[in-house]
């Protein structure tokens, strides 16, 4: 009995960083990339093979700070089970450490594969909570947006600590996602914002309030059907400006953002923690290839065209 589970990547459409401080954010799944777990019963001890992470090891020899082992151990504790005799193969087409949710997606496929193995019913909420526990070990103070959008596999309007609110995308729209190729750990960007917020609370609370306003407008536009794509693009551009002001942009991100706008995108911004990772551009479907090409010319190491539904 081989068990296979998959989970999509994600991008944050708007509201990153402010979401850590209680403001809303919008995230959408990206199904063009995924994490996958294949769990195969064997006669030997729990073995993990993760070629994309260049890892091949036994669970009982995992280092204490190993996130894969943490996901497994937390799930086993939840079910009150000992490590089974299995091989767990993990693969991911989601680029690692670039704001597309690779960590949460890998944890999600592990939790789901073990739940199936032990024939334990596990609600989506419980999957999301377990993945959040792992995120907390590695990202310090995560808002919980990644585990929510990936476990539920649907677009969300997310506020930390509140029940999930589904975002209804009335009319599909097209995003081009460009990768700077720069790996930037989330906790560094989040920690930097926290330091600056502590030094200048009033100013930063003001930035977060401004971000909240544009996230609310974005929600209205997306839920009503994007009859005014230019207006949505403008909100993305304003969000980018605010992210620059709170110090999480980078020259590589800004080069790609400019390249997308020059090629006709309605708006563009960094997505996720910033300082590297990915940016997103809102484009007319017919324009997507031209924007993608311009992004590659401007140095994008990878480009994904995604229809958001
Ligand atoms: O994991 P990333 O790069 O998508 O960034 C997470 C978004 C932040 O708002 C910066 C942090 C968080 O926990 O919400």
Report residue 141's pLDDT band, with 50, 70 and 90 as the boundaries. confident
- Is residue 239 within 8 A of residue 23, CB to CB? The reply is no
46, 56, 51: which is closest to 36 by C-alpha? 51
Q: Which structural domain, as residue segments, surrounds residue 188? A: 173-308
Residue 56 sits in a domain whose CATH number is: 3.30.230.10
Domain boundary among 117, 136, 166: 166
Protein residues with CB under 6 Å of any ligand 1 atom: 12, 16-17, 19-20, 99, 142-143, 145-146, 186, 190, 272-273, 277
* pLDDT for position 96: 86
Question: How close is the Cα of 91 to the center of ligand 1, in Å?
Answer: 22
Please list the active-site residues. Answer: 146
**231 and 214 in one domain?**
yes
**270 and 150 in one domain?**
no
Question: What's the structural domain count of the chain?
Answer: 2
Residues 231-254 have pLDDT tens digits of: 999 999 999 999 999 999 999 999
Domain boundary among 148, 166, 184: 166
Question: How close is the Cα of 280 to the center of ligand 1, in Å?
Answer: 15
Task: Please give the average per-residue pLDDT across 179-190, as a whole number.
Answer: 92
pLDDT exceeds 80 at position 228: no
Mean pLDDT of the chain: 95
Quote the CA–CA distance of 62 and 96 in Å, as a whole number: 20
pTM value surpassing 0.85: yes
Domain boundary among 166, 200, 231: 166
Instruction: Please give the C-alpha separations between residue 90 and each of 33, 60, 73, 133, in angstroms, as whole numbers.
Output: 14, 17, 16, 20
**222 and 239 in one domain?**
yes
């Amino acid at each position: 009995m081989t068990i296979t589970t998959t989970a999509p990547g994600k991008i944050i459409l708007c509201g990153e960083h402010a979401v850590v401080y209680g403001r809303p954010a919008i995230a959408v799944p990206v199904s063009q990339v995924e994490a996958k777990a294949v769990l195969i019963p064997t006669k030997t001890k729990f073995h993990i093979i993760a070629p994309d992470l260049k890892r091949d090891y036994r669970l009982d020899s995992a280092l204490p700070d190993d996130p894969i082992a943490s996901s497994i151990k937390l799930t086993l504790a939840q079910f009150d089970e000992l490590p089974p005799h299995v091989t767990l193969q993990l693969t991911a087409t989601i680029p690692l450490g670039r704001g597309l949710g690779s960590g949460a997606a890998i944890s999600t496929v592990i939790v789901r594969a073990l739940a199936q193995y032990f024939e334990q019913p596990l609600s989506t909420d419980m999957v999301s909570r377990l993945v959040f526990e792992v995120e907390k070990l590695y990202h310090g103070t995560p808002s919980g947006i990644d585990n929510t959008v990936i476990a539920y596999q649907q677009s969300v309007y997310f506020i930390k600590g509140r029940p999930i609110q589904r975002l209804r995308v009335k009319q599909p729209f097209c995003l081009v996602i460009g990768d700077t190729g720069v790996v930037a750990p989330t906790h560094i960007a989040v920690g930097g914002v926290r330091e600056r917020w502590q030094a200048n609370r009033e100013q930063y609370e003001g930035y977060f309030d401004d971000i909240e306003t544009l996230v609310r407008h974005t929600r209205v536009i997306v839920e009503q059907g994007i009859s005014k794509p230019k207006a949505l693009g403008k909100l993305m551009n304003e969000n980018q400006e605010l992210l620059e002001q709170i110090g999480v942009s980078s020259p590589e991100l800004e080069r790609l953002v400019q390249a997308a706008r020059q090629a006709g995108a309605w708006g563009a911004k960094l997505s996720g923690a910033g300082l590297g990772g990915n940016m997103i551009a809102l484009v007319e479907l017919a324009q997507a290839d031209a924007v993608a090409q311009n992004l590659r010319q401007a140095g994008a190491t990878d480009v994904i065209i995604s229809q958001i539904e």
